Amino acid sequence: MTPNQLHSSDRFAAELLQSRQLSRKFANALAQPLAFKSRPLHRFAAGVSLCKAGDRVTQLPFVMSGRLDAVAHVPGVQGGQIVPISFRAGEMAFLSYLFNQLPSGSDLVVGEPSTIQWLPLKDIETCLLNDQGLLLMLVGFLGQRLREVQARERNWAARGVQTRLCAGLARMAADLPSRSDGRNVVVATHEQIAASCGISRPKASIALKALEGDGVLKLGRGWIEVLNLRGLIERSD
């Protein structure tokens, strides 16, 4: 089944999965020419800002472990900000800043304790210009990332609080690494969930409690377990 034949929420999950696969494939292809193994490791606690909106991007982080969040500030959106995309182990963040001199359009924040390697933009660009195969791989990834963005943003602004929250949680659940016990546990506070979905924290908390009452979620301190992923997806359209 192709992404275009899927339910819209399933389609986004499929597009996201394909984006991550291409991102990791691209990073893996760069590992040897950029000598990843010889580069120093940097460890950061959750909440640390690695880049602010408006900063000049001169180096990209390769995520060894953990999660980095792009945080976009959106005037007029409930909560004031959204997390349109996250970067996980095996991925490089902010690849769209290659071959341009534009400042960052969003903050890059450590979403959970992470280990990264910094890769100078100029080193990556030189490597790509010397290897047409790598350059074509980047183009393929960016095209896929655009399709993912279009799937995610379609009708997003018109959604209500619970619909937006369900869509955000469905996205996070689809992005979770697999667990041996098969559970879908999103490690995040109500405030982080609200920011990711572009809604206020009080409204997010009310909607989360309603979903828990319906048996869709189980709420814990700093975590949310998705008990009925299909039910969550159905409420996100």
pLDDT band at 81 (very low <50, low <70, confident <90, very high): low
| Pairing status of strand 81-88 against strand 42-44 | unpaired
pTM: 0.66
Please count the other Cβ atoms lying within 10 Å of the Cβ belonging to residue 175. Answer: 16
CB-facing half-sphere around the CA of 43: CA atoms within 13 A: 1
The per-residue pLDDT for 8 is 54
Under 8 Å between Cβ of 28 and 92: no
Per-residue pLDDT for 5 more than 80?
Answer: no
The per-residue pLDDT for 153 is 65
The contacts of residue 110 (CB under 8 Å, 6+ apart) are 44, 45, 46, 47, 48, 49, 50, 66, 67, 68, 69
Retrieve residue 204's tokens.
Answer: 């997010």
The per-residue pLDDT for 10 is 62
